[in-house]
Amino acid sequence: MNIFASNLSFYTTEENLKDMFSKFGFVTSVKIIVGRETSEQHAFAFINMPSDIEAKAALLGMDNKEIEGRTLSVSAANENHLHLNLLPRSNRFFL
């Protein structure tokens, strides 16, 4: 399952996220989105967990959790998240 996490601190790293989500199960990959032209980190990421059961546990355990002074918003990633259009289609994380 692909997970969309938003409202990240700009100090959060992919390794931090992997460690946090790994408490709920195996994490295949984590990708914090950066701007195409500015290369600046945005406040959201995609996390991939192959087990739907573990991913659902992560959704429940991580949603509304305070991380580095910000309240994390976590949901199942879907096609609506692609409207963010920050990466060229060939590099989009979960296609």
In this structure, what CATH number is given to the domain that contains residue 24?
A: 3.30.70.330
More confident residue, 24 or 82: 24
Number of domains in the chain: 1
The DSSP secondary structure of 37-74, one letter per residue, reads TT-PEEEEEEEE-S-HHHHHHHHHHHTT-EETTEE-EE
* Structural domain span for residue 72: 2-91
* Predicted confidence (pLDDT) per residue in 2-34, tens digit: 999 999 988 889 999 999 999 999 999 999 887
Rounded percentage of the chain residues whose pLDDT exceeds 90: 57
Please report which confidence band the pLDDT of residue 81 belongs to, taking 50, 70 and 90 as the band edges. Answer: low
* Predicted confidence (pLDDT) per residue in 48-61, tens digit: 999 999 999 999 99
pLDDT higher than threshold 50 for residue 87: no
